[in-house]
Structures are given as structure tokens and as C-alpha cells.
């Protein structure tokens, strides 16, 4: 019997056993199944068209139109650390995205030659730090929690990146050698290099702006510059879309557009199936946070995260890393958990791990970095969030 036949047989047996023992008659399981489908529906409606789709196009543009030399210059392993890590860590203040939307952008710069350190700093900072989340955390959970979240997230993003670069320095050296060898064998970005720099900048910046303004949230105060932007967000988005279309028609030839579309589709095919599968599993386990229950009731979570013990902080960090939070929804959910008896330390631990990680994002990160690097990255996020929760809980 061939290896392929054994694999096919194992899949058939696995599906049979799943179908045979599926506890569909259990009311709790049926409720969890509906919650998983509800989370998937919510994800498709709220994140695919306005978040993921623009992110795929941006990642495709980075892959095709931004030279590898440029990425390596600013984000490569040999780049000046103060420049690469600073740029990567402040990305969250520009991109108010969730742990899933950041993935195509992360995949794009990593494939282009960004070092594992700056790339993972960008990966963590993107969803963990954004000005809207900071303000909402301050308004709902208090300025102490908001300040702790901001300081810890900035420090974490840089420390995690530096540790990843240190731990995998040998593998990174081999990857850089392979990238350099491929550059010598193929003429990469020949068309991109011949284009005016300002055209590439406007083209990519317009897509990033569209992603930013299309997902601009209404501020709680209802006044100020943020409220003004929210009022005219769709007008700004429409203008940026016109700029993107104009640039694609006037500045790109047919070969450029085809390459851009091909890379965009490749990112979508790599990431979307894993995200959808991960969202379903996360919904089945934890339900739709704040709305419906999964197999693991939220009351159980609240019961084990009281106080400020090591176990409570670790569990909060781990649960946050596995659960899926849409952008900014972690704040009202935490408000409810705090009301149910959750400690301040575990609350911060969940705030630091939850927005930056999720089960869906872990599956995609694994497809980009592999098992070993993904396990180390996730472990660093969980352990450092646990430590921050312990310290904050002790202070408060």
C-alpha cells in the first residue's frame, strides 16, 4: 500500500469516526456549532471585504512592485536595528487591523526578505497597538490599563522580534543566502526598478490609506478630528479608490497588472482557507465572544482568571491567544469579564495576547514560518503577556 493510499484511507477513517460519534443530539454541542457558524458569518461580513481584500492587494503589490533590496535595506537582518524595529513597532499606530488582517502584509514583507525579527515585530505590533484601541481602553477600562497596555505592547513587539532574530539566527542566515542566490539566478523586480519611486509610493500608500479609512471606527466622543474623519470616511475611501484605479490603468502595463493579480490571488489561496477553518474551530470552542457560548462556557473562563496568581494570568493569556477577537471588541468583552470577577492582571494579559494572536492566525503563521518558529513566537507572546499581567496585578 502506497503512502498516498494510506493517507487517503486515514482521512476516510477519520471522517467516518467523526460522523459516527458526532454529538449532534447534545443541546450544548448544537449551540456551540451554531455559535461557530455565527462567528464565521460575522467574520465574513465584517472583515473579508473591507479588511482582508485590501490587505491581499497590498501584499500583492509589495511582492511585485517593491524591490527586495528595499525591503532588506530597511527590514533585513543586517539593517540598522534602531531603524527596522522602530518602524515595525510603530506600525500599529497607523494600521488599526486585527490579527488576521495583518497576515498578508506580514507574509508579503517576509517573502521579500525582511528579517524574522523586524517581521515578527510588525506581526505583533500591527494588531496589538493602535491609537483607537488605546483611547477606547482608557475610556472603558481606565487610564492605568490603557497606559499599561500601550507600554507593554510596544516593549513586547521589539523584545519578541529581537528574541526571534537571536533564536533563529542560523536559519535566517541560510534564508538570506537562498534569497541572494535566487536573486542572482533570476532578474527580480526588473520592471519595478524602472518605475518612478513616487509612483510606487503613491500606489501602495493609496491602498494602505483605503484599508485605514474604510475601517475607521466611530469615536465614542463624537467630536474632534477622529469624528470628522469618520463623517467623511467613505468620501476619502472613494477618492483613494479612484487613485488606485488610475495608477493601475496609467502606470502599470498588462504584465504588471497580471503579476499583481496573481500574487494577490496566491496570498488569498494560502491564507483564507486556514482563516475560515480556524474561525470555525475557535467559534466551536469559545463561541461568539460576548454574544453566544461555545463548548467552553465563558463562565468557566471567568472562574479561573480571578485574582492575580500565575495560573490565572497564564490561563488568561493562553485563552486570549486562542480566541478570535475582532478589532476593538476585546475591550467590551473584558469589561464583562471584569464585572464577573476577573483580576486586573489577567485582564491585561488577555489584552496583550488576544488582539495579537488567534487560532486562525496561528494556522496561517505556521504556513509562512513553519512549526518551530510559530511555536516559539506564540510561546513568547503568551509567556510575556503572563509576566506583564503578574507585574501589573501586583502593582494595582
Q: Over 60: is that where the pLDDT of 187 sits?
A: no
At residue 234, the pLDDT reads 94
pLDDT at residue 365, rounded to an integer:
93
Q: What is the C-alpha separation between 237 and 232, in angstroms, rounded? A: 9
CA distance 171 to 168: 5
Q: Which of 88-102, 291-305, 345-359 has the lowest mean pLDDT?
A: 88-102
**Using one digit for the tens of pLDDT, what is the confidence trace for 132-173?**
677 678 877 888 998 999 899 989 999 999 999 999 988 888
How confident is the model at residue 189, as a pLDDT? 44
64 contacts 263 by C-beta, under 8 angstroms: yes
Higher pLDDT, 72 or 244: 244
- Using one digit for the tens of pLDDT, what is the confidence trace for 303-355? 788 888 999 999 999 988 988 876 667 777 787 778 767 889 999 999 999 88
- In angstroms, the CA 92 to CA 124 distance is 9
Per residue in 343-394, pLDDT (tens digit) is 899 999 999 998 888 888 999 999 999 999 999 999 999 999 999 999 999 9
Q: Which of 159, 200, 164 is nearest to 352 (CA)?
A: 159
Q: Report the pLDDT value the prediction gives residue 220, as an integer from 0 to 100.
A: 65
How far are the Cα atoms of 53, 168, 294, 332 from residue 46, in angstroms, in the given order?
11, 36, 20, 17
Average pLDDT over residues 44-71: 82
Across the range 64-80, mean pLDDT stands at: 76
Q: Rounded to an integer, what distance in angstroms lies between the CA atom of residue 248 and that of residue 251?
A: 6
Give yes or no for residue 270 having a pLDDT over 70: yes
- Residue 133 and residue 96 in contact, taking contact as beta carbons nearer than 8 Å: yes
Highest-confidence segment of 108-112, 189-193, 310-314: 310-314
**Which band of pLDDT confidence, cut at 50, 70 and 90, is reported for residue 190?**
very low
Judged by phi (left if over 0) then psi (alpha if -120 to 50, else beta), residue 331 lies in alpha
pTM of the model: 0.77
Is the pLDDT score of 183 beyond 60? no
- Answer whether residue 95 shows pLDDT above 60: yes
**Average pLDDT value for residue range 270-277:** 84
Would you list the DSSP string of 3-63? HHHHHHHHHHHHHHHHHHH--TT-HHHHHHHHHHHHHHHHHIIIIIIIIIHHHHHHHHHHH
List the grid coordinates of 353: 495576547
Q: What is the pLDDT of residue 206?
A: 92
pLDDT at residue 42, as a whole number: 82
At 219, phi and psi to the nearest 5? -70, 150
User: How far from chain centre, in Å, is Cα 13?
Assistant: 34
Amino acid at each position: 500500500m502506497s503512502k498516498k493510499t494510506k493517507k487517503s484511507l486515514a482521512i476516510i477513517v477519520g471522517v467516518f469516526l467523526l460522523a459516527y460519534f458526532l454529538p449532534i443530539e447534545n443541546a450544548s454541542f448544537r449551540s456551540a456549532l451554531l455559535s461557530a457558524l455565527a462567528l464565521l458569518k460575522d467574520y465574513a461580513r465584517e472583515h473579508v471585504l473591507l479588511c482582508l481584500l485590501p490587505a491581499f492587494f497590498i501584499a500583492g503589490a509589495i511582492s511585485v512592485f517593491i524591490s527586495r533590496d528595499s525591503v532588506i535595506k530597511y527590514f533585513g537582518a543586517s539593517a540598522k536595528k534602531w531603524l527596522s524595529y522602530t518602524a515595525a513597532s510603530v506600525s500599529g499606530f497607523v494600521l488599526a487591523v486585527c490579527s488576521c488582517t495583518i497576515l498578508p502584509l506580514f507574509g508579503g514583507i517576509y517573502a521579500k526578505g525582511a528579517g524574522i525579527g523586524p517581521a515578527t515585530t510588525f506581526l505583533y505590533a500591527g494588531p496589538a497597538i493602535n491609537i483607537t484601541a488605546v483611547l477606547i481602553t482608557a475610556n472603558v477600562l481606565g487610564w492605568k490599563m490603557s497606559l499599561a497596555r500601550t507600554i507593554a505592547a510596544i516593549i513586547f513587539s521589539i523584545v519578541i522580534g529581537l528574541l526571534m532574530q537571536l533564536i533563529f539566527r542560523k536559519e535566517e542566515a541560510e534564508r538570506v543566502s537562498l534569497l541572494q542566490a535566487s536573486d542572482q539566478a533570476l532578474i527580480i523586480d526588473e520592471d519595478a526598478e524602472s518605475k518612478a519611486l513616487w509612483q510606487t509610493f503613491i500606489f501602495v500608500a493609496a491602498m494602505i490609506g483605503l484599508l485605514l479609512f474604510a475601517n475607521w471606527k466611530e469615536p465614542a466622543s463624537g467630536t474632534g478630528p477622529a469624528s470628522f474623519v469618520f463623517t467623511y470616511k467613505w468620501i476619502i475611501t472613494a477618492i483613494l479608490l479612484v487613485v488606485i484605479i488610475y495608477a493601475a490603468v496609467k502606470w502599470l502595463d498588462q504584465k504588471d497588472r497580471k503579476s499583481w493579480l496573481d500574487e494577490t490571488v496566491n496570498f488569498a489561496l494560502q491564507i483564507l482557507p486556514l482563516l475560515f477553518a480556524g474561525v470555525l474551530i475557535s467559534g466551536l470552542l469559545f463561541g461568539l465572544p460576548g454574544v453566544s457560548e461555545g463548548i467552553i462556557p465563558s463562565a468557566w473562563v471567568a472562574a479561573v482568571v480571578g485574582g492575580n496568581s500565575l495560573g490565572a494570568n497564564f490561563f488568561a493569556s493562553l485563552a486570549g491567544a486562542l480566541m478570535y477577537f475582532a478589532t476593538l471588541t476585546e475591550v467590551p468583552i473584558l469589561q464583562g469579564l471584569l464585572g464577573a470577577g476577573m483580576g486586573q492582571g489577567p485582564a491585561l494579559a488577555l489584552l496583550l495576547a488576544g488582539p495579537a494572536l488567534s487560532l486562525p492566525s496561528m494556522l496561517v503563521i505556521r504556513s509562512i514560518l513553519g512549526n518551530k518558529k510559530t511555536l516559539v513566537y506564540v510561546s513568547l507572546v503568551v509567556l510575556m503577556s503572563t509576566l506583564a499581567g503578574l507585574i501589573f496585578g501586583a502593582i494595582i
